[in-house]
Structure 1
Amino acid sequence: MFTMLNKKLNRKSWTALIISAIIMLSACSTPNTAVPAAGTAAPKSTGEAAGTNTPMADQQVLKYVTLNMPRSLDPTNVDAQRITSDGIAEPLVMLNDDATLRPWLAKSWKNIEPTLWEVELQPNVKFWSGVVMDAAAVKAALERHQKLNKRASSQIGGVEFMVKDATHLQIKTPKPDPAFIFKLTGFAIHNAAEADRLGDKFNKEADLTGFMKPTQFIPGELLIAEAVAGYWGVQPKLKRVEARLGSDGQARLLAMKSGDTDADMNVEVEQRISYEKDKKFDVLYPPGSTRNLWLNIKKVPAFQDPKVRLALSLALDRKELIDGVSRGFAEPVTGHFPKGLPYALDKGPESDREKAMKLLDEAGWKPGADGVRTKDGQKLQFKLLTYSFFQPTAVALQSQFKEIGVTIDIEPVETTASNQLMLDGNFEMATYCSCGSVTGDLGGQLKSYYYTGLVSNYGGYSNPEVDKLIDQLSAEFDASKQNDLAKKIQQIVLDETAIIYMYNSASWGSAYNSKVKDVDKNLRTKIVPEMYIGK
Structure 2
Amino acid sequence: MFRMLSIFRAAALVAVLSLALAGCGSANPVATSDEPAAEQTLKFLTVNMPRSLDPVHIDAQRILENGLAESLVVQNDDATLRPGLATSWRTVEPTVWEFTLHSGLRFWSGAPVDAAAVKASLERHKAKNPRAKSILGAMEFAAADATTLRITTKTPDPGLAFRLTTYGIHNAAEADRRGDEFNRDPDLTGFMKPVQFVPGETLVAEANPDYWGKPEGGIKLKRIEARLGSDPQARMLALRSGDADAEFNVEIDQRLQYEKSGTKFSVYSPAPTTRNIWLNTTKVPALRDKAVRQALDLAADRKELVDGLNHGYAKAATGHFPAGLPYAVDSGTTTDAAKAAAILDAAGWSPGPDGVRAKDGTRLHFKILTYTVFQPLAIALQSQWKKVGISTELAPVETTASNQMMLDGNFEIATYCSCGSATGDIAGQLRSFYRTGVVSNYGGYSNPQADALIDQLGTEFDPAKQAELAKQAQRILLDDVALVYLYASTQWGAAYAPRVRGVEPNLSRRILPGMWLAR
Is structure 2 residue 270 aligned with structure 1 residue 290?
no
Paired residues of 1:31 and 1:440 also in contact (CA < 8 A): no
Tell me how far apart the structure 2 counterparts of residues 186 and 230 of structure 1 sit (CA, whole Å): 24
Paired residues of 1:68 and 1:415 also in contact (CA < 8 A): yes
Is structure 2 residue 203 aligned with structure 1 residue 223?
yes
Amino acid paired to 1:116? V
Structure 2 regions of 5+ residues with no counterpart? Answer: 10-32
| Corresponding residue to 1:198 among 155, 178, 185 | 178
| Corresponding residue to 1:71 among 51, 56, 60 | 51
> Residue by residue, what CA displacement relative to the aligned partner does 1:491-522 show, whole Å, maximum 9, x if unpaired?
00000000000101011001100111111000
Could you tell me which residue of structure 2 aligns to residue 358 of structure 1? 342
Amino acid paired to 1:502? L
- Give 1:30 shift: 6.3
Could you tell me which residue of structure 2 aligns to residue 143 of structure 1? 123
Could you tell me which residue of structure 2 aligns to residue 401 of structure 1? 385
Mapping of 1:96-107 within 5 angstroms?
96-107=76-87
- Give 1:287 shift: 0.3
Is structure 2 residue 456 aligned with structure 1 residue 472?
yes
Tell me how far apart the structure 1 counterparts of residues 488 and 201 of structure 2 sit (CA, whole Å): 31
Mapping of 1:86-105 within 5 angstroms?
86-105=66-85
- Give 1:153 shift: 2.3
> Residue by residue, what CA displacement relative to the aligned partner does 1:305-328 show, whole Å, maximum 9, x if unpaired?
111101100001100000001111
Report the 3-state secondary structure (helix = DSSP H, G, I; strand = E; otherwise coil) of the residue aligned with 2:506.
Answer: coil
What is the number of residues matched between the two proteins?
489
Mapping of 1:331-410 within 5 angstroms?
331-410=315-394
Mapping of 1:179-194 within 5 angstroms?
179-194=159-174
Is structure 2 residue 175 aligned with structure 1 residue 175?
no
| Corresponding residue to 2:248 among 246, 251, 265 | 265
Give the stretch that moved more between structures: 279-288 or 485-494. 279-288
Could you tell me which residue of structure 2 aligns to residue 482 of structure 1? 466
Tell me how far apart the structure 1 counterparts of residues 158 and 256 of structure 2 sit (CA, whole Å): 41
Could you tell me which residue of structure 1 aligns to residue 430 of structure 2? 446
Paired residues of 2:49 and 2:61 also in contact (CA < 8 A): no
Tell me how far apart the structure 1 counterparts of residues 54 and 433 of structure 2 sit (CA, whole Å): 25
Structure 1 regions of 5+ residues with no counterpart? Answer: 1-28, 38-52
- Give 1:455 shift: 1.0
Could you tell me which residue of structure 1 aligns to residue 237 of structure 2? 254
> Residue by residue, what CA displacement relative to the aligned partner does 1:319-356 show, whole Å, maximum 9, x if unpaired?
00000011111111110000000100001112100000
> Residue by residue, what CA displacement relative to the aligned partner does 1:9-33 show, whole Å, maximum 9, x if unpaired?
xxxxxxxxxxxxxxxxxxxx96878
Mapping of 1:487-498 within 5 angstroms?
487-498=471-482
Could you tell me which residue of structure 1 aligns to residue 13 of structure 2? none
Amino acid paired to 1:178? P
Amino acid paired to 1:274? Q
Which aligned segments of 4 or more residues in structure 1 are displaced greater than 2 angstroms? 29-33, 53-58
- Normalising by structure 2, report the TM-score: 0.92
- Give 1:86 shift: 1.3
Tell me how far apart the structure 2 counterparts of residues 340 and 448 of structure 1 sit (CA, whole Å): 22
- Give 1:106 shift: 0.4
Tell me how far apart the structure 2 counterparts of residues 515 and 81 of structure 1 sit (CA, whole Å): 26
Paired residues of 1:54 and 1:532 also in contact (CA < 8 A): no
Mapping of 1:55-70 within 5 angstroms?
55=35, 58-70=38-50
| Corresponding residue to 1:157 among 129, 137, 143 | 137
Tell me how far apart the structure 2 counterparts of residues 277 and 306 of structure 1 sit (CA, whole Å): 45
Could you tell me which residue of structure 2 aligns to residue 5 of structure 1? none
Tell me how far apart the structure 2 counterparts of residues 70 and 531 of structure 1 sit (CA, whole Å): 22
Report the 3-state secondary structure (helix = DSSP H, G, I; strand = E; otherwise coil) of the residue aligned with 2:248.
Answer: strand
Is structure 2 residue 497 aligned with structure 1 residue 513?
yes
Paired residues of 2:297 and 2:335 also in contact (CA < 8 A): yes
Give the stretch that moved more between structures: 55-64 or 85-94. 55-64
Is structure 2 residue 226 aligned with structure 1 residue 237?
no
| Corresponding residue to 1:133 among 89, 92, 113 | 113
Tell me how far apart the structure 2 counterparts of residues 251 and 31 of structure 1 sit (CA, whole Å): 46
- Give 1:378 shift: 2.1
Could you tell me which residue of structure 1 aligns to residue 258 of structure 2? 275
Amino acid paired to 2:250? V
Tell me how far apart the structure 1 counterparts of residues 280 and 295 of structure 2 sit (CA, whole Å): 15
Report the 3-state secondary structure (helix = DSSP H, G, I; strand = E; otherwise coil) of the residue aligned with 2:315.
Answer: coil
Tell me how far apart the structure 2 counterparts of residues 85 and 325 of structure 1 sit (CA, whole Å): 28
Amino acid paired to 2:463? A
| Corresponding residue to 1:416 among 396, 400, 409 | 400
Could you tell me which residue of structure 1 aligns to residue 19 of structure 2? none
Report the 3-state secondary structure (helix = DSSP H, G, I; strand = E; otherwise coil) of the residue aligned with 1:75.
Answer: coil
Paired residues of 1:87 and 1:211 also in contact (CA < 8 A): yes
| Corresponding residue to 1:525 among 506, 509, 513 | 509
- Give 1:55 shift: 4.5
Tell me how far apart the structure 1 counterparts of residues 203 and 209 of structure 2 sit (CA, whole Å): 19
Q: CA-atom RMSD, angstroms? A: 1.5
> Residue by residue, what CA displacement relative to the aligned partner does 1:252-302 show, whole Å, maximum 9, x if unpaired?
111111111011111001211111111321111110000000000111000
Could you tell me which residue of structure 2 aligns to residue 10 of structure 1? none
Paired residues of 1:226 and 1:239 also in contact (CA < 8 A): yes
Paired residues of 2:64 and 2:168 also in contact (CA < 8 A): yes
Tell me how far apart the structure 2 counterparts of residues 425 and 259 of structure 1 sit (CA, whole Å): 41
- Give 1:81 shift: 3.8
- Give 1:154 shift: 2.7
Tell me how far apart the structure 2 counterparts of residues 193 and 55 of structure 1 sit (CA, whole Å): 43
- Normalising by structure 1, report the TM-score: 0.90
Paired residues of 1:30 and 1:101 also in contact (CA < 8 A): no
